[in-house]
Amino acid sequence: MGSHGTRGPRAVIIGMPGAGKTRIGREAARMLGIPFEDSDRRIEKRVGMSITRYFRDYGERRFRDLEADVIADLLTQSSGILSLGGGAPMTDSTRARLREYVGHGGRIVYLRADPQEAMERAVQSGGRPMLAGDARRRWTELFEQRDPVFSRIATCDMRTRSMSPTAAARRMIAMVNERVVHVPVEAGSDYDVRIGVGVMDQLPAMMGAGPVRVAIIHTASVQRYSDRARALLRKDGREVTEIVIPDAEAGKTVQVADGVWHRLADGGFTRSDAIVGIGGGAATDLAGFAAATWMRGIRYVNCPTSLLAMVDASTGGKTGVNIPEGKNLVGSFFTPAGVLADTGALASLPADIFIEGLGEVAKSGFIMDDEILRILSENARALRAFDGGSFTGSDLEPVVTELIERTVRVKVHHVASDLRESGLREYLNYGHTLGHAIEQSEHFRWRHGNAVAVGCVFAAELSRILGHLSDHDVEEHRRLLSSLGLPTSWSGGGWDDVLGLMHRDKKARGNTLRFVILDSMGHPRHLDDPPIEAVHEAFDRIRA
């Protein structure tokens, strides 16, 4: 077990002959101050001869058996960077070992070099028995066989075209350090949420080979990240259209969606093209809604830039817009191809926008993960004092990264088997019935995470009144949220107006009020049609 927390190497590198696996792997290991291992060199050391000679004397079958044994040893013994021979992952037993390694948190980096560059390097270096004869034709044949296998088994897909070994090593280290949450989707396509500094660099790979035209939908406040996405996509040969929408909830309307549809029509977007959403939760919601509705559904990738969007809106496949009568009443369930939560973007957030996102983080702790509550409590002072200018590289950065990962995992647990919110997924709405009513009453001048924080206190009070939570549990809600700088009370609209808004909430069933409360901390449940006096009393207890 390496010190990085995975069982085996820090990372395993795979790729075609000439991709630079040894060069880049050795440089990355040097930068990290950890060992570098090459399975081909280990094989030659074990048999006392070159691989070319072993191939000639014993044949490929015998070599692959030996290679598989050596790799099995290295996957348990190595704690550094491990580079595998070009054909190693094609052996069934080696693939099985690599899947086991990934299952324990390992990273497999597929170095995807420019085919012409890799082919030239492979041919020039010689000594490659699999390229005997017409080396260029043979390399192409091998690529066609191996690329689908490599793509399936890799956890990181890294393009190295025109990159120096040093730049490629830095990119690889960033990939290895990122957190990956896999989202299984019943009756749909699985996808990954990638969390870490610089993960936006993986946008072209996540976009896939198909889309020629890509629309970037973003707010003006995240222009620098849109510029980065545009440069990455154009370098990858895509035609890029930029569509700027208003900030926050003003960008999440039918009128804005209509403008996006017209821009897509004018740009000639077809069913095989794609959308990228960049910005906060409202922007990614709108981008997903546009993707879900254009030609009945096209590919899209979310690049959330706020903490709230990273932990909530960008994952789960909920897309939608608001209408005057309510929030998110028009929408669709439509999953992204992937989510790139680049934590470097948090450095540009004002403190109040960052703190707002902690409302959704705390909610996830209340309904499932008490480790989230512990991390929030122990780091409350630093989180409340968030300063974007000093965030990158600070002690707070890994804390926030872990909070994002844990919150996303809570969400995935609830959405993977319930895409359309018919049961388990509804537990994610803890605090939201009143929270949405507050947003509506305040004409969205209150931010979502702040409204949810008050809504969590309301739901806890209702749970206490009905005999489920203790006084201590409710006070813990108030104490934790207050320590983070989040509100725990509200002095806005009157009871009758709020009751009417709660009846229009998406979770309502006919004329029946429906809440999510806690049976105990970490154990949510549905509550249908509670005594209206209890609801009124809980409401009175959150009045400022």
- Active-site annotation holder among 37, 356, 360, 405: 360
Q: How many CA atoms lie within 13 A of 6 on its CB side?
A: 26
Eight-state DSSP code of residue 311: I
Q: Which of 497, 499, 504, 531 is nearest to 517 (CA)?
A: 531
> 64 labelled as ligand-binding?
yes
Question: Residue 424 corresponds to which tokens in the numbers above?
Answer: 């388990």
For residues 469-506, one letter each, b for 16 or more C-beta atoms within 10 angstroms of the residue's C-beta and e for the rest, the string is: beeebbebbbebbbebbbbbebebbeeeebbebbeebb
Find out whether 514 is annotated in a ligand binding site.
no
CA distances (Å), origin 471, targets 293, 364, 468, 476, 478: 47, 20, 10, 9, 11
Question: Is 432 a residue of the active site?
Answer: yes
Is 476 marked within a binding site?
Answer: no
Q: Is 249 annotated as a binding residue?
A: yes
Concerning whether 302 is annotated as a catalytic residue, the answer is: no
Closest CA to 268 of 302, 239, 288: 239
Residue 388 counted as an annotated binding residue: no
Q: Measured in whole angstroms, how far is the alpha carbon of residue 311 from the centre of its chain?
A: 9
Is residue 405 among the annotated active site residues?
A: no
The alpha carbon torsion through 275, 280, 286, 288 (nearest 10 deg) reads 50
CB of 313 closer than 8 Å to CB of 350: no
Is 327 labelled a binding residue? yes
Do the annotations mark residue 284 as ligand-binding?
A: yes
Q: Is 507 annotated as a binding residue?
A: no
Residue with tokens 């003003």: 250
360 is in an annotated binding site: yes
Burial classification of residue 183, based on how many CB atoms lie within 10 Å of its CB (0-12 exposed, 13-18 middle, 19 or more buried): buried
Flag whether 384 is marked binding: no
Q: Structure tokens of 204?
A: 């072209």
6 is in an annotated binding site: no
Query: How far does Cα 245 stand from its chain's mean position?
Result: 23
From 67, 405, 421, 461, active-site residue: 421
Among residues 42, 107, 138, 411, the one annotated as catalytic is 411
Annotated binding residue at 309? no
Cα–Cα nearest to 365, from 313, 402, 417:
402
Residue 103 is assigned to a ligand binding site: no
Catalytic residue list contains 360: yes
Active site residue 429: yes
Catalytic, 413? Answer no
User: Does 179 appear as a known binding residue?
Assistant: no
Displacement of CA 471 from its chain's centroid (Å) = 36
Q: Which of 299, 436, 478, 514 is catalytic?
A: 436
| Residue 339: strand, helix, or coil | strand
Gap between the Cα atoms of 186 and 177, Å rounded:
29
459 is in an annotated binding site: no
Catalytic residue, chosen from 26, 42, 432, 464, is 432
Q: State whether residue 411 is helix, strand or coil.
A: helix
**448 annotated ligand-binding residue:** yes
Buried b (16+ CB within 10 A) or exposed e, 199-233: bbbbbbbbbeeebebbbbbbbebbeebbebbbebb
In 29-137, beta strands by DSSP E? 36-38, 81-83, 108-112
52 belongs to an annotated ligand binding site: no
Instruction: Judge whether 209 is annotated as a binding position.
Output: no
Q: Is 169 annotated as a binding residue?
A: no
Q: Which amino acid is at 322?
A: N
Name the active-site residue from 218, 425, 507, 514.
Answer: 425
Catalytic residue among 194, 429, 461, 507: 429
Catalytic residue among 10, 194, 228, 318: 318
Q: Does the annotation place 20 within a ligand binding site?
A: yes
Nearest to 463 by CA among 496, 439, 490, 430: 430
Distance between CA atoms of residues 377 and 493, nearest Å: 31
Quote the crossing angle between the two packed helices 471-483 and 448-465, to the nearest 10°: 170
Cα dihedral value 506, 512, 518, 522, nearest 10: -40
Confirm or deny that 318 is annotated as ligand binding. Answer: yes
Active site residue 448: yes
**248 known member of a binding site:** yes
Respond yes or no: is residue 475 known to be catalytic: no
* Residues 7, 100 contacting (CB under 8 angstroms): no
Residue 86 in marked binding region: yes
Annotation-wise, does 483 bind a ligand? no
Distance, in Å, from the CA atom of 436 to the CA atom of 501, rounded to the nearest integer, reads: 8
305 annotated to bind ligand: yes
318 is catalytic: yes
Q: Which residues are marked as active site?
A: 296, 318, 360, 411, 421, 425, 429, 432, 436, 448
- Extract the annotated binding site for ATP: 18-23, 128
- Extract the annotated binding site for NAD(+): 247-252, 281-285, 305-306, 318, 327
- Extract the annotated binding site for Mg(2+): 22
- Extract the annotated binding site: 18-23, 40, 64, 86, 128, 146, 247-252, 281-285, 305-306, 318, 327, 360, 432, 448
- Extract the annotated binding site for Zn(2+): 360, 432, 448
